[in-house]
Amino acid sequence: MKNILSTASLIVLTLCCAMTAAGDTIPVPDMVEYDVAIVMNAGNTELAPYYISSNNGGTVTQQYDALVAANARHLLSHAERFSWGAGLEVWGGYSSSAGYQRYADNGQFEVQKQHPARAWIQQAYAEAKYRSIFAVAGQKYKASPIVNEQLSSGDLVWSNNARPPVGLRAGFIDFQNIPFTKGWVQLQGEFGYFRQLDDKWLENHYNYYNHSITTGIWLHYKSLHFRTNPNQPVVFTIGAQSACQFGGTAKYYKDGQLDYTVKMDADAKAFFRTFIAGSGGNAQGDSFVEGNHLGTWDIALQYNLNEFQHLRAYTQWLWEDGSGIGKMNGFDGLWGLEYHNDNQLSLISGAVIEYIDFTNQSGPVHWTPNDHLGTPITSHSSGADDYYNNYIYNGYQNRGMSIGSPFVKSPLYNLDGYMRYRDNVMRGFHAAVKGQLNYSWGYTLMGSYRKAWGTPIIPRAGSVDDFSMALEVRYRYWFNWQFSGQLAMDRGSLYGNNWGGLLGITYSGNLNFRK
């Protein structure tokens, strides 16, 4: 089962050579779009509340931020046979510090104040398209193939919760008709390799006392999805995503002392073995398969009520190993229902309700009595997939923010300097709605509740919970200016009792070179 997605990826590469149909989207003029924004937020705790910090690319995470962002981009034209694009997004300004524990030479823990960089590049990329095939090099956001990123709790494999890594990816620009199906079946797929470039962040936030820190990590991503004719009343989508952490160097600490070091392969063979989920390399950390793999089975069913309104049910089944790929992890995953109205000037233009469950984690597949003959374990069995965690890699994160679902509390919030997830055995609900009162005024309302029980390896004696809510109000002045305000709060023992507010001012424009 572990090679199903890898085999499908090879099929994608083969079909890329045969399929040449261009997309049906409207041509994009030869122009450069740009935005300049000022973002300010404040709260009552060292880190921002959940809904302010999540799903924004890791840009606003602290108690206080006063930031300026500039973004310029030349868009691809889907309608032209050959097209190119490029973009640059830069952030800078002031962010307050949060205190992280670090083990000191005197044998005591000290609090080290850490804050984000005063200036950084959020996106920098160049891309090109020929017919239906695209390639992009650099650092760019990637859209989810399944969830609505404006309203969802987030894609389970590759959300926009963390800063995008730097790398190269290629695939189909959109869903493409499969030859000989007469447009009834379409296919979309892509793959890429990336570097996170977060070594300094990890070194500054790690506690240097327990477990390990892994730097120099590579990421691999691939996806493959099939869709029926989108112009029919009912549209069915099915596919899968896969991601893998590989390479890097892990340093293990015990009671504040460096115990041993493990260096994982990052040569050409390692790149190939991550693509096909092949057997591990020579390193101690890769004895089973190369790197740390995770992914989802994705399924969606859409019913088009009319030309503008759509209902969609969707699910993502998360997996960490072969048992999860074989769906031996029960009800685990994301289950959602979405309403979407293409008429953006509607009181309700979109709504989502989702249930997220990570409590099975392959249940009795792991740690059964037969695995521990001669021990006192005689009847208990529990799952140990340990979603987003790995015994040799850091948690599945970039600069402390979850690359997968932000609904699981990100390692950024571990002020004790532990760089893994503490509460991935969890379940909860998320709901969101957005709309426009008129052309000028719009809103988004979000709320969620979750309960967590620690991890399969380190369970809590009891449980922790959280209720979070946020309201954003937007005002657009003419075509160029937008003013926004957001209020957010957390209540419970998981994040604490937090509140915060955010104000944003954005000016947008374009430079048209075909006037």
CATH number at residue 216: 2.40.160.130
pLDDT of residue 31: 86
Q: How many CB atoms lie within 10 A of CB 346?
A: 15
More confident site: 110 or 107 = 110
Residue 475 is inside which H or E element, if any? strand 459-477
Q: 20: pLDDT confidence band, cut at 50, 70 and 90?
A: very low
pLDDT classification of 236: cutoffs 50, 70, 90: very high
Looking at residue 90, its pLDDT comes to 98
| 324: three-class secondary structure by DSSP | helix
Higher pLDDT, 513 or 343: 343
pLDDT mean over 409-434: 97
**What is residue 204's three-state secondary structure?**
helix
What is the per-residue burial (b if ≥16 Cβ within 10 Å, else e) of 167-183?
Answer: bebbbbbbbbbbeeeee
Cα 398 to the chain's mean position, in Å? 10
- E runs forming strands in 16-160: 31-47, 62-74, 82-95, 98-103, 109-114, 119-130, 133-139
Q: How confident is the model at residue 291 (pLDDT cuts 50, 70, 90)?
A: confident
Give the mean pLDDT of 253-260.
Answer: 94
Banded model confidence at residue 376, pLDDT cuts 50, 70, 90: low
> How large is the average pLDDT for residues 29-48?
93
Assign 117 a pLDDT band (cuts: 50, 70, 90).
Answer: very high
In the prediction, which pLDDT does 504 show?
98
Helices (H), 42-163: 50-53
Question: Residue 479: what pLDDT?
Answer: 85
CA distance 469 to 483: 20
Give the model confidence (pLDDT) of 186-214 as tens digits.
999 999 999 989 999 999 999 999 889 99
Per-residue pLDDT band at 3 (split at 50, 70, 90): very low
Exposure of 378 by Cβ count < 10 A (0-12 exposed, 13-18 middle, 19+ buried)? exposed
Range of weakest confidence among 115-124, 375-384, 488-497? 375-384
What are 301-323's pLDDT values in tens digits? Answer: 999 999 899 999 999 999 987 77
pLDDT for position 50: 98
Mean pLDDT of 88-92: 98
Q: State percent of the chain over pLDDT 90.
A: 77
**Comparing C-alpha atoms, which of 10, 37, 55 is closest to residue 154?**
55
Q: For residue 95, give the nearest of 112, 120, 70, 71 by alpha carbon.
A: 120
* 61 within 8 A of 397, measured Cβ to Cβ: no
Collapsing DSSP to helix, strand or coil, 26 comes out as: coil
Q: Can you tell me the mean pLDDT for 394-412?
A: 96
How crowded is residue 445: how many other Cβ atoms within 10 Å of its Cβ? 16
Whole-number mean pLDDT of the chain? 89
What length does the chain have? 515
Range 388-411 average pLDDT: 95
pLDDT at residue 365 greater than cutoff 90: no
Q: What is the mean pLDDT of residues 61-71?
A: 98
363: amino acid identity, one letter: G
For 457-481, what is each residue's pLDDT tens digit? Answer: 899 999 999 999 999 999 999 889 9
- The distance in angstroms from the start CA to the end CA of the chain is 55
Instruction: Indicate if the alpha-carbon torsion angle 302, 225, 142, 114 is positive or negative.
Output: positive
Per-residue pLDDT band at 452 (split at 50, 70, 90): very high
pLDDT at 325: 86
Predicted pLDDT at 19 = 38
Degrees, nearest 5: CA angle 471-472-477: 155
pLDDT of amino acid 25 = 40
Separation CA 366–CA 383 (nearest Å): 5
Written as six digits, the tokens of 125 are: 């990329």
pLDDT value at residue 1: 39
**Six-digit token pair at 385?**
């997939």
Rounded CA separation 293/386 (Å): 12
Check if the beta carbon of residue 286 is closer than 8 Å to that of residue 301.
no
pLDDT value at position 14?
37
Domain containing residue 84 = 4-512
Look at residue 27 and tell me whether its pLDDT is greater than 50: no
Residue 6: what pLDDT?
42
Overall number of domains in the chain: 1
Q: How many CA atoms lie within 13 A of 274 on its CB side?
A: 29
